[in-house]
Amino acid sequence: DSEAILLAAKNGKYIPETEYYGELSHLLWLAPTDRQKAIIETVRNAQDNFSAEIIAGRLQDSDAVKNFSPESLKALREFLQEREPRFSSISNDFDIVDTVKYANWLKSWAILNGGNDANSINAAVMNQLSNSHTDPRQIVSYLVSGDSDQFIEKFGATAAFHSLEERIDSYADKNKNLTFQDFVVEIRKKTKKY
């Protein structure tokens, strides 16, 4: 049993705890349906963000969850909701690694909360990005990702999308982070026709 072997390795100090929870997160896709929720609860209780990053990275299309039970999907939703990546409280801080983490998290969150088709997933993304509490760095993170093309095609001409653009423009004007400003320029190139 892979879970027992991993636990023995952790308890015997052969692998660090972070690696243990990370390996459990990978194991989730191989686990029988009746063990999935227990694995999710184990990594959730560990308060380990590395596990959330692994799970979000694996949940990049709706097929990734087709073999999960409803209880496991509910546990995954709760787990990812608790682990939404946050940017630094320093407003000028913008890290490319954080950008990738957020874009992966948002796509996986939208798959779990939006539905199985692209329109439902894109609508869930729009709802999340439109939230007044969403950091403009999170908006940019998704809009520069490879997953944003369909999203921009669907929403680029809408008032809601233009509101997102206004928020990132305002943030770019106030915070002179060159990476952020370069990403805003890239987004403008992608949205020019709208």
Q: Quote the CA–CA distance of 178 and 194 in Å, as a whole number.
A: 25
pLDDT digits (tens, 9 = 90+) for 44-67: 988 779 999 999 999 998 899 999
* pLDDT at residue 91 in the model: 86
* pLDDT at residue 178 in the model: 92
Element (H, E) at 107: helix 96-114
**Residue 55 exposure: Cα atoms within 13 Å on the Cβ side:** 33
Backbone conformation region of residue 145, classed left if phi is above 0, alpha if psi is from -120 to 50, else beta: beta
pLDDT tens string, the chain, 194 residues long: the values are 899 999 999 999 999 999 999 999 999 999 999 999 999 999 998 877 999 999 999 999 889 999 999 999 999 999 999 999 999 998 889 989 999 999 999 999 999 998 778 999 999 999 999 999 999 999 999 999 998 999 999 999 999 999 999 999 999 999 889 999 999 999 999 998 87
* pLDDT at residue 80 in the model: 95
Dihedral pair phi/psi, residue 40, rounded to 5°: -60, -45
Q: Quote the CA–CA distance of 167 and 47 in Å, as a whole number.
A: 32
